[in-house]
Amino acid sequence: MSACFAVALVAPPVAAQPKRTETVLVLEAANEGSWEPGVQALVAELLTTGYGLNVRAAHAHLPDQLERELQSEVADSAALAGIALVREGDNATALLCRQGVTPCERLRMKISEGELSRSRLALAMVERLRPIDLPAAPEPSTDARRDATPARTVPAAQPATSAPAATRIRPFRAWLSGGVVLSSGMSTPLTWLSASLAMMRAHPWGVELSVAGSPLAGKAELDAGSLTLRGYSVTAFATFEPVTERPFGLSLGLGGGALHLQEEATSTPGFDVTTHSPTVGIVSARARLFHRSGPVYLGLTIDPGILVPAVKVDAGRETALRIGRPWVSMQASVGLEL
């Protein structure tokens, strides 16, 4: 049921309320950010209070984008203020932008209690409009008061202390991942653990910084002996999220960093051993498919890349192995929205 249809349903009971001259603009978030029951409750409460309404569909579905759109719409209109609601899983965020006043206000609350949650949020937003109400109309004359029908008593509004506290949504995610690295020249894969922090300031673009290492060594076998390797890396990615259809999402990235390898070599008879601990560059892409449940994310992350330059293992005068062409990590990931 759309917000406009809700206006038609609730209008008749409140037709006798005093009509205000102020108009409030209500924006309904697009796509997965839409929360029609909440918009309907807000529209009903505003009509009951006597405000004029202008209800529109928004183009944005994320709080930051929706706030900018709401500010622009209010500035370009004659509305007293603008209100927008956006849903994020089990939470809802309400935005209130006043004409000529910055910044906008935000309220965020859980909506697990259904109709009760919607009513609380609607009442909280109407309470915040009261400080900017226009002065009341002049009191009617004595004769008019004598002929007037006694007004119905309206229950007092909830005290301001019961309204949910305002909060800003932080665009950060922390990830912990575990899996393996497959590389050319390696007989067994490297175990691989990583931790990363992702930040998205302008959807769908963001950045992610990752540190990783191998708690267990991988092994390379050749005729001249064997080689065990451990690796530690620091990488940064520029990310892009082309798919954000709840509850699934896809994140793509491209970046690079540095990889430090620790070697331990064992030679066969007739060969001498010389070990090194090289540090090389790594150029990598990133693809992460994830499922979101509230602030928690579960994902599968694949990072295909190459080492620059490749790590060479020489036997005599010949190159026996090239490690890192390609260098691919595959990990299961758990994320948390901060």
Same-domain check for residues 240 and 103: no
Where does residue 198 rank: exposed (0-12), middle (13-18), buried (19+ CB within 10 A)? buried
Amino acid at 189: P
What's the mean pLDDT in 174-179?
96
Sign of CA dihedral 149, 155, 161, 166: negative
251 and 130 assigned to the same domain: no
Same structural domain for residues 46 and 189?
A: no
Residues 307 and 197 in one domain: yes
Q: Which residue has the higher pLDDT, 267 or 282?
A: 282
Query: What CATH number should be reported for the domain holding residue 34?
Result: 3.40.50
Do you know the residue count of the chain? Answer: 338
Last residue of a domain, one of 87, 114, 139: 139
Overall domain count for the chain: 2
Q: Does the structure show a pLDDT above 70 at 245?
A: no
Query: Does 234 fall in a domain?
Result: yes
Q: Answer yes or no: pTM beyond 0.75.
A: no
Work out the mean pLDDT of the chain and round it to a whole number: 78
- The DSSP H or E segment spanning 7 is helix 3-10
pLDDT at 244: 66
Residue finishing a domain among 123, 139, 155:
139
**Surface-to-core class of residue 103, CB atoms within 10 Å of its CB (0-12 exposed, 13-18 middle, 19+ buried):** exposed
CATH code, domain with 300: 2.40.160.20
Residue 46 forms part of a structural domain: yes
Residue 160 lies in a domain: no
> Residue 282: is its pLDDT beyond 70?
yes
What confidence score (pLDDT) does residue 140 get? 52
User: SS3 of 59, please?
Assistant: coil
Among 139, 163, 187, identify where a domain stops: 139
In this prediction, residues 146-172 reach a mean pLDDT of 50
Assess if residue 113 is contained within a domain: yes
| 183 and 95 in a common domain | no
pLDDT in tens, 114-135: 777 778 888 888 888 775 444 4
DSSP secondary structure letters along 127-176: HHHGGGPPPPPPPPPHHHHHHSPPPPPPPPPPPGGGSPPP-----EEEEE
Same domain for 83 and 19: yes
Task: Kindly state whether residues 118 and 180 are assigned to the same domain.
Answer: no
**Which tokens go with 61?**
């579905």
Q: What is the average per-residue pLDDT within 205-215?
A: 95
Whether residues 182 and 316 share a domain: the answer is: yes
Averaged pLDDT for residues 57-73: 81
Cβ contacts of residue 299 below 8 Å, gap of 6+? 175, 288, 289, 290, 291, 332, 333, 334, 335
Domain that holds residue 7: 3-139
How far apart are alpha carbons 209 and 257 in whole angstroms? 10
Q: Do 133 and 227 reside in the same domain of the chain? A: no
**Residue 158 is assigned to a structural domain of this protein:** no
Task: State yes or no: pLDDT of 158 exceeds 70.
Answer: no
In angstroms, the Cα distances linking 159 to 33, 128, 162, 172, 191 are 29, 11, 6, 34, 57
Q: Average of pLDDT values for 97-104?
A: 82
Using CA atoms in the order 109, 115, 118, 124, what is the torsion angle rounded to 10 degrees?
A: -90
Give a yes or no: residue 144 inside a domain. Answer: no
Same domain, 105 and 249: no
Pair 109, 176 in one domain: no
In a domain, 165, yes or no: no
Q: 215 and 111 in one domain?
A: no
Nearest-5° Cα angle at 264, 316 to 261:
100
**Residue pointed to by tokens 């697009």:** 30
**What integer pLDDT is reported at residue 252 of this predicted model?**
95
DSSP per residue, 10-45: HTGGGTTSPPPS-EEEEEEPPGGG--HHHHHHHHHH
Residue 273 included in any domain? yes
